[in-house]
Copies of this chain bind each other. A is one copy, B any other.
């Protein structure tokens, strides 16, 4: 059964797709236009466990999974020896991957998510943005990029000298930051973060994602 990913044009599904490509897993995508409310259609709602805002949904035969970060872990585990090893080779390496995944989740994601909403999504749907939220989010993002800069001065990637989920997860929102949001200076003024970004964003898997699926904004 081919793996199905719903809504490939959005950032979180892209996080899953780049992982599927790295793991050499065959998949197909189902276009869903969230801006036209297509995610509220009965055929998608019946796939939902909670709410109507779960992106991505992944269908693998009868098995349905939500939450991009859970899906990443599921496939990394299911196809451990296939494609790129994204969780580290030893339990100790995996612990460090998990540690930096938590930093991405709790420190990087909240401010960049707020920036994406306020600078890209709200203008697109005619909602006002909140300058206070923008300023606070930029400050928080600067702080986490400082942490990355220090870490990346010692190791090539976040969890160590090996590419992992902890790096890969930054691609979709990082791409917004560097392109649509025109905030590339936040990366470029940090030497090691800048080199790291160039490295991970030039992986063939990510280039393929960008070529196959266009961002809606």
Contact = CB atoms under 8 A, between A and B. Distances in A.
Interface of A: 49-51, 63, 65-67, 69-71, 73-74, 77-78, 91-92, 94-96, 98-99, 101-103, 105-106, 110, 147, 150-151
A65 B151 contact: no
Contacts of A65: 95-96, 99
Nearest to A95: B74
B151 A50 contact: yes
B67 A99 contact: yes
Contact of A50 (B77, B92, B150): B150
B50 A102 contact: no
A30 B79 CA distance: 39
Contacts of A147: 50-51
A92 B70 CA distance: 11
Nearest to A70: B98
A207 to B, nearest CB: 27
Given A49-B151, A147-B50, A147-B51, A77 B99 contact: no
Contacts of A66: 99, 102
